[in-house]
Structure 1
Amino acid sequence: MGEYKPPFTITNEILSYVSSISEKIGQITAVNNLQTKPHLRKNNRIKSIHSSLKIEANSLSLGQVRDLINGRPVLGEQKEIQEVKNAYAAYEQLAKIHPYDINDLKKFHNIMTKYVVEESGDFRHGEEGVFNGEQCIFMAPPARLVPQLINELFSWMKESHGSVHPLILSSVFHYEFVFIHSFSDGNGRMARLWHTAILSKWKPIFEYIPIESQIEKFQDEYYEAIARCHVNGESTVFIEFMLRQIDRILSDISVQLSEDNEHLSEYVKKVLDIMEYDIPYTASALMEKLNLKSKEGFRRNYLRPAMDMGLIQMTIPDKPNSRNQRYVKI
């Protein structure tokens, strides 16, 4: 059997996005040392987990996912709660993933699907199809071919990661992996995790970028791109889709960081600096941390501007003057 090469075409659109993404990464890295902002990584990781699971029909809200990750009790289906715990355990070890190692793929599938999938960490033994309701969109390759197809895909990645740009290679892997449908369940979650892992090896900044949340915003287009690739027999359309979404989210992050750096008053910066994410504070506690005496000055200069910018929110928004009111950085 000859050497396998996943079919795709390098288009002008792909080249344009690779150039744009590389430029934006350089700008963000030069202006902002994201490693000094662990809260940003955690906040975006929560978004990644929520979005990736939501694509797979997990009904827990972003707030519930955040509470689970922060160790707070959450009411919900046990399976969905376990999926969040599993995804967080996997994403927390993102930097340890060897994206060109099949054994690592199985290891992280076991982490991602622990207690919720019978064949956790093993390639599927049964036949699988992708359905929209009762309509079969496509049938995955026979289970007996999965080990061979995965070996071919990983061999191509190992041989090509020095010659094929990581932005393109990661997108090709994502599509091919979804097509092979290696596992009985969790294929979408693993494809998105592995996509991020490949990009993180190229540029560590991708640990901070919730690509999954961007996919979830354009979920219909995501599945449409995959379906078109099935018809075309190659992944070009999917590569273009993924690069477009990465380019968009980098633009959003660049604007967000620019606003943080340039448009926040010193007062707002100070109150944000003394608050941890997801921790509710009373107004008195915040004033004490800031060594302030005037409640009116605190509200006028610190609290109200931060709330108007959507950086802080009330825990009881319907009752702003409640004695039980708390404030949370978001």
Structure 2
Amino acid sequence: MEAYQPPFTITNIILTYVGSIAEKLGKITAVKDLENKPHLRKNNRIKSIHASLKIEANSLSLGEVRDVINGKVVLGEQNEIQEVKNAYAAYAKLAEIDPYSIDDLKKFHGLMTNLLVEESGRFRQGEEGVFNGDKCIFMAPPARFVPHLMSGLFAWMQSAKKSVHPLILSSVFHYEFVFIHPFADGNGRMARLWHTALLAKWKPVFAYIPLESQIEKFQEEYYNAIARCHAAGASTQFIEFMLWQIDKLLDEFSLQLSEDDGQTSELIKNLLNVMDYDVAYTARALMEKLGLKSKEGFRRNYLVPAMEQQLIRMTIPEQPKNRNQKYIRC
């Protein structure tokens, strides 16, 4: 039987993005002590989990997801809370994933859907479609074809991993996985987890980069790219879309690392260390966390320099002196 070959074309757009991403990765991976940034790693992982679940209509806020992960009591739907716990358990074992193993795929689907799906860790037995909200983008292949299609996809990855660039291979897998839709539930979450796992296998820095949050920001474009590829019968446009998002995301990640470029004062670093990402703080709350009493000293030595370096931002930038003003770490 002829080996499966996912249809796609290497375009100039793809080559341009691959070159741009490689250049940006070269600069990022040169940053020392990236492993010693637990605050950055944890916050980005929380952002990844929140975004991936939000795409699948989980209603918990970023703060509530953070609270679930930190073991705090959260009032919400129990299945949504379980989704967070499952996703955190799966992402915590990201480094253990062999993304070229179909057995690992099933194992981690079992972890991702624990206590939520009857067919957890097993390929679907029924028919499924891919939906964006209530809109059906396309119907997946019949369930009886799933084992064969998935075996073919993983066999292609094994043979192609030495000749196809990981940035392209991971995007092809993502699209093909979504098209096959091998599980009864959790396909979107698994596609995004596996995309990250494939990239992290190539460059470990991707374990710290919230690709899922970038997809969530451009969710409509994400589903449109999938639909266009389905109509075209090839994943080319999805590859271009994903590389575009990764390229943009690396710019944002570089900014997150900017406090370690030698230009940030120890005072600003102290401020950043007491701030979680995507949490809004009043000036008073930040002063209390830092043990400061002088408003003017806090403004002059911490707040203004941090905003000038674009490390934090105002929630109401058009009204700097608004009594409800708060500050968010960028």
- What TM-score do you get using the length of structure 2 for normalisation? 0.87
Contact 1:97 1:197 in 2 (8 A): yes
Given the superposition, is the C-alpha separation of residues 132 and 305 from structure 1 closer, same or farther in structure 2, using an over 3 Å criterion? closer
- 1:76 is the counterpart of 2:76: yes
Which one is further off, 229-238 or 136-145? 136-145
Which one is further off, 190-199 or 24-33? 24-33
Match of 1:152 in 2: 152
Q: How does 1:115-134 map to 2 (within 5 A)?
A: 115-132=115-132
Structure 2: runs of 5 or more not aligned: 316-321
Match of 1:8 in 2: 8
Given the superposition, is the C-alpha separation of residues 31 and 42 from structure 1 closer, same or farther in structure 2, using an over 3 Å criterion? same
Separation (CA, whole Å) in 1 of partners of 2:311 and 2:18: 32
Contact 1:124 1:143 in 2 (8 A): yes
Match of 1:257 in 2: 257
3-state SS, counterpart of residue 30 of structure 1: coil
- 1:204 is the counterpart of 2:208: no
Contact 2:129 2:137 in 1 (8 A): yes
- 1:286 is the counterpart of 2:285: no
Separation (CA, whole Å) in 1 of partners of 2:257 and 2:141: 44
Tell me which amino acid in the other structure corresponds to 2:121: G
Given the superposition, is the C-alpha separation of residues 284 and 259 from structure 1 closer, same or farther in structure 2, using an over 3 Å criterion? closer
Which one is further off, 134-143 or 105-114? 134-143
Separation (CA, whole Å) in 2 of partners of 1:30 and 1:93: 25
How far did 1:132 drift?
A: 4.9
Deviations for 1:260-307, whole angstroms, at most 9, x for unmatched residues? 53653332123445x3748997745633xxxx7x64565344554477
Given the superposition, is the C-alpha separation of residues 261 and 233 from structure 1 closer, same or farther in structure 2, using an over 3 Å criterion? same
Separation (CA, whole Å) in 2 of partners of 1:39 and 1:28: 17
Separation (CA, whole Å) in 1 of partners of 2:287 and 2:245: 39
How far did 1:191 drift?
A: 0.3
Separation (CA, whole Å) in 2 of partners of 1:85 and 1:255: 29
Q: How does 1:1-330 map to 2 (within 5 A)?
A: 1-132=1-132, 135-258=135-258, 261=261, 264-273=264-273, 275=274, 277=276, 283=287, 286-287=290-291, 295-296=294-295, 299-302=298-301, 304-305=303-304, 308=307, 311=312
3-state SS, counterpart of residue 31 of structure 1: coil
Separation (CA, whole Å) in 2 of partners of 1:226 and 1:74: 34
Contact 1:267 1:301 in 2 (8 A): no
Contact 1:123 1:146 in 2 (8 A): yes
Contact 1:127 1:140 in 2 (8 A): yes
Deviations for 1:86-128, whole angstroms, at most 9, x for unmatched residues? 0000000000001011110000001101111111101000011
- What TM-score do you get using the length of structure 1 for normalisation? 0.87
Separation (CA, whole Å) in 2 of partners of 1:258 and 1:310: 8
3-state SS, counterpart of residue 82 of structure 2: helix
Separation (CA, whole Å) in 2 of partners of 1:120 and 1:154: 20
Separation (CA, whole Å) in 2 of partners of 1:49 and 1:133: 19
How far did 1:165 drift?
A: 0.5
Contact 1:271 1:302 in 2 (8 A): no
Separation (CA, whole Å) in 1 of partners of 2:87 and 2:263: 35
**Matched length:** 318
Contact 1:13 1:240 in 2 (8 A): yes
Tell me which amino acid in the other structure corresponds to 1:43: N
Which one is further off, 140-149 or 126-135? 126-135
Contact 1:313 1:329 in 2 (8 A): no
Structure 1: runs of 5 or more not aligned: 321-326
Contact 1:130 1:139 in 2 (8 A): yes
Which stretches of structure 1, 4 residues or longer, exceed 4 Å deviation after superposition?
132-135, 276-285, 306-314, 327-330
Separation (CA, whole Å) in 2 of partners of 1:295 and 1:209: 37
How far did 1:131 drift?
A: 3.7
Separation (CA, whole Å) in 1 of partners of 2:197 and 2:135: 33
Deviations for 1:51-108, whole angstroms, at most 9, x for unmatched residues? 0001001111111111111111111111111101100000000000010111100000
Separation (CA, whole Å) in 1 of partners of 2:247 and 2:160: 23
**Percent sequence identity over aligned pairs:** 64
Contact 1:229 1:236 in 2 (8 A): yes
